[in-house]
Amino acid sequence: MTNKKTFVSIMLIAVLVLSVLCVLGFATQSTVAQAATNTVDVYAINDFHGEVSKMPRIAGYLAKRKSEGAIILNSGDMFQGSMESNSNFGKLLTDCMQEAGFDEMTYGNHEFDWGMDNLRNLAANSGIPFLGANIYNWSRDGGWGDFADDFADEYIIKELDNGIKVGVIGVIGDDQITSICAPLVQTVGFKDPLPIIKDLATELRNEQDCDIVVVSAHDGPQDIVDGDGGTFAQPTTTAGLEDYVDGVFCAHTHSQQCYLVNGLPFLQGKSEGGFVSHMRFSVDNGNVSVQTYENISYNSLSDVDTQVQSSVQSLIDNSNAAIEQERNQVVVTLDKTLNSSNGIPRLVCNAIAAAAQERGYTIDLAITNVARNSLSAGDVTYSQLYNALPFDNTVYIAKVSGKDIINELVKYSGQSMWRVSGRRISENEYYYAAIIDYLLFHQNSRRNYNYFPSAFTSDFEPIPITKQGEQVYNYRLITRDFLTKQAGMIDASLYTTLSVHTDPSQLQTAVNLPIVPYQFGTGGETPGGAQRGLPVYAIVLIVVGAVLVVGAAVAVVVIVVCKRKKSSSQE
Higher pLDDT among residues 480 and 14, named by residue: 480
* 255 and 372 assigned to the same domain: no
- State pTM to two decimals: 0.84
* 458 and 380 assigned to the same domain: yes
* 351 and 300 assigned to the same domain: no
Split at pLDDT 50, 70, 90, the class of 43 is very high
| 454 touches 403 (CB < 8 A) | yes
* 133 and 229 assigned to the same domain: yes
Q: How far apart are CA 42 and CA 500, in angstroms?
A: 54
Higher pLDDT among residues 285 and 426, named by residue: 426
Rounded to an integer, the average pLDDT of 432-455 is 97
* 317 and 334 assigned to the same domain: no
Of 321, 348, 365, the one marking the end of a domain is 321
Higher pLDDT among residues 314 and 561, named by residue: 314
* 257 and 334 assigned to the same domain: no
| 409 touches 344 (CB < 8 A) | no
pLDDT at 237: 86
pLDDT at 23: 33
Residue 499 domain flag: yes
Nearest CA-CA partner of 169 in 152, 181, 183, 185: 152
Distance of CA 523 to the CA centre of its chain: 31
Q: How far apart are CA 384 and CA 338, in angstroms?
A: 12
Q: How far apart are CA 222 and CA 235, in angstroms?
A: 5
Of 263, 291, 321, the one marking the end of a domain is 321
CATH of the domain at 143: 3.60.21.10
* 360 and 432 assigned to the same domain: yes
* 366 and 309 assigned to the same domain: no
Strands 39-45 and 105-106: what pairing? unpaired
Residue 26 domain flag: no
Q: How far apart are CA 216 and CA 313, in angstroms?
A: 27
| 80 touches 380 (CB < 8 A) | no
Residue 214's domain spans which residues?
A: 38-321
Q: How far apart are CA 370 and CA 375, in angstroms?
A: 13
Split at pLDDT 50, 70, 90, the class of 13 is very low
Q: How far apart are CA 462 and CA 455, in angstroms?
A: 7
* 223 and 79 assigned to the same domain: yes
Residue 361 domain flag: yes
pLDDT at 230: 52
* 200 and 302 assigned to the same domain: yes
High-pLDDT (> 70) share of the chain, %:
83
| 349 touches 332 (CB < 8 A) | no
CATH of the domain at 371: 3.90.780.10
Of 321, 348, 372, the one marking the end of a domain is 321
* 380 and 496 assigned to the same domain: yes
Residue 570 domain flag: no
Residue 411 domain flag: yes
pLDDT tens-place string over residues 363-397:
999 999 999 999 999 999 999 999 999 999 999 99
Query: Which residues, including other chains, have CB under 8 Å from residue 404's CB and lie 6 or more apart?
Result: 451, 452, 453, 454, 455
Can you give 483-549 as a three-state secondary structure string?
HHCCCCEECCHHHHCCCCCCCHHHCCCCCCCCCCCCCCCCCECCCCCCCCCCCHHHHHHHHHHHHHH
pLDDT at 229: 54
The letter for the amino acid at 386 is Y
CB atoms within 10 A of CB 160: 17
* 305 and 390 assigned to the same domain: no
Number of domains observed in the structure of the chain: 2
Residue 541 domain flag: no
pLDDT at 21: 36
| 314 touches 306 (CB < 8 A) | no
| 464 touches 393 (CB < 8 A) | no
CB atoms within 10 A of CB 425: 23
Asked if the model's pLDDT at residue 1 lies above 90, the reply is no
CB atoms within 10 A of CB 564: 10
Asked if the model's pLDDT at residue 534 lies above 90, the reply is no
Q: How far apart are CA 438 and CA 376, in angstroms?
A: 26
Q: In what order do the strands lie in the sheet containing 143-147?
A: 143-147, 135-139, 188-190
